[in-house]
Structure 1
Amino acid sequence: MNKPYIIVHMMTSIDGRIDCGMTAQMRGNSEYYSTLDAIDAPTRVSGRVTAQTEMSNGAADFSNGEKLGKVAFSKNSSASDFNIVTDSKGRLRWGNDAGASSPHLVLTSTNVTKEYLNYLDQNSISWIAAGDEHVDLKAAMDILATEFGVKRLAVVGGGKINGGFLEAGLVDEISLVVGPGVDGRSGQPSVFDGMNRGSKPISLKLKSVQSYNDGAVWLRYLL
């Protein structure tokens, strides 16, 4: 299959927690953004929960109406990079992206309604529909590389979207900024969550280590 080079880039406490409200208070938060620029992956992917709380205009009910029912895409803007969001059911609302330098691109399932896709088209937002109930990430990445020309992207979402890309065998590199702090709360999201696999860990190869005066450490691993 054709696909971009995919890097999971996250900031975490030393106990592996990624709650944004927590990491924003830790030393190393500024290094997260400088290292994100350094990995040279201007196209970025977020999960629905992250997008709904931090990027979109909230959610709406587009569930009624005829379903798409097939793999398809719509390229509503030509850009060198995109802000990609996974939204399997097609619920998030957006502003108009006409003329945006880094326009949104929605990854959704074939179970999405034509009403929602028309809404995206009317707002100049590109989309890729693949997968029956959930986004088929492999198929979506093939379309993204082949039809949209994306060569590198960073996954900057929550643990579930990170885990989805890793479980699908799509991740080439993991980039972690570890802040000098402990979260310790039960039930907080971690770098990778929700993977359906056994207890055997996924082996990684250390690419580089960089430390900072504020105690943060930047770790890069290859798969």
Structure 2
Amino acid sequence: MRPYVICHMMASLDGRIDCAMTEQIDDTNHYYEALAQLGCPSTLEGKTTLAMHYAQEGTFQPARAHEDAGLQLYKAVEAKGYAVGIDTNGTLRWDDNTTELFGRPLLMILSEHTSQEYLDYLKQKHISFITSGRNGIDFASAFETLRTVFGVERLAVVGGGHINGSLLDLGLIDEISMMYGYGIDGREGMAAAFDGRTLSSKPIRLTFKSVEEQDGIVWMRYLVEVKK
């Protein structure tokens, strides 16, 4: 059993999601108001987004030889909602009070290849974590742990494009919540709402759920069709 997962994104009309750009086409906080309506106390963000907006500069520098941590979990605190982050190999550096930074406790998902030293570092920072998967992160298993151990029943994936694409390919997203602001990006190399899928990937079929307009911003919701 895993959480119900909603991918909630703000994009320009051409589907780009650069945060500095989207802030200019959603200056009334409709994105966050819609996120609150989705009823997801916990959110998930990829490493790129975390490094850009939340983590300290630089990368974690180990002081001893690498020792794979293997399969582990650590629950620093009981909470109604978590800021879930992805950091496959354990390299992000954090402030002492991440709960204040995110507004709720931080919970990291990492691979089993993460060093034991880095997990000890997270414990010192009182940051919860799950390690799952030897060759990259086993998201299906990690999501089950989110539900069974941390009580996460609804999870909003809020960035970025590559983590969105990966979870979509794995069949771990139940619903798409897309908000399109009144602007076009068009800059070369900017990430799309769903990115990084292979050229041989087939389109993911969706079922329309709802649409509404809010001060020029269009909010559309779709259910992801189950693969047969």
**TM-score tier after normalising by the smaller chain length:** over 0.9
The percentage of aligned residue pairs carrying the same residue is: 41
Unaligned residue ranges in structure 2 (runs of 5+)? none
State the SS of the aligned residue for 2:89. Answer: coil
Distance (whole Å) between structure 2 residues aligned to residue 57 and residue 41 of structure 1: 26
Distance (whole Å) between structure 2 residues aligned to residue 61 and residue 163 of structure 1: 30
More moved, 190-199 vs 76-85: 190-199
Distance (whole Å) between structure 2 residues aligned to residue 128 and residue 199 of structure 1: 29
Matched ranges for 1:32-71 at <5 A: 32-58=31-57, 59-62=59-62, 65-71=65-71
**Paired residues of 1:97 and 1:125 also in contact (CA < 8 A):** no
Instruction: Report the Cα offset of residue 198 of structure 1.
Output: 2.5
Matched ranges for 1:5-24 at <5 A: 5-24=4-23
1:222 aligns to what?
Answer: 223
1:164-222 CA-partner distances (Å, limit 9, x unpaired):
1111110010001101211111211001111236253110011100112x311000000
**Paired residues of 2:69 and 2:119 also in contact (CA < 8 A):** no
Counterpart check, 1:117 vs 2:116: no
Instruction: Report the Cα offset of residue 67 of structure 1.
Output: 2.6
Letter in 2 for 1:180: Y
Cα gap change, 1:51 to 1:85, in 2 (>3 Å): same
Structure 1 runs (4+) deviating above 2 angstroms are 58-70, 95-101, 196-200
1:54-85 CA-partner distances (Å, limit 9, x unpaired):
11123322385343352221111111111111
1:126-149 CA-partner distances (Å, limit 9, x unpaired):
000011142111111011111111
State the SS of the aligned residue for 1:166. Answer: helix
**Paired residues of 1:206 and 1:221 also in contact (CA < 8 A):** yes
Letter in 1 for 2:72: A
Q: How many residues align?
A: 221
Distance (whole Å) between structure 2 residues aligned to residue 99 and residue 89 of structure 1: 22
TM-score of the superposition, structure 1-length normalised? 0.93
Unaligned residue ranges in structure 1 (runs of 5+)? none
Residue from 201, 204, 226 that aligns with 1:202:
204
Letter in 2 for 1:22: M
Counterpart check, 1:140 vs 2:142: yes
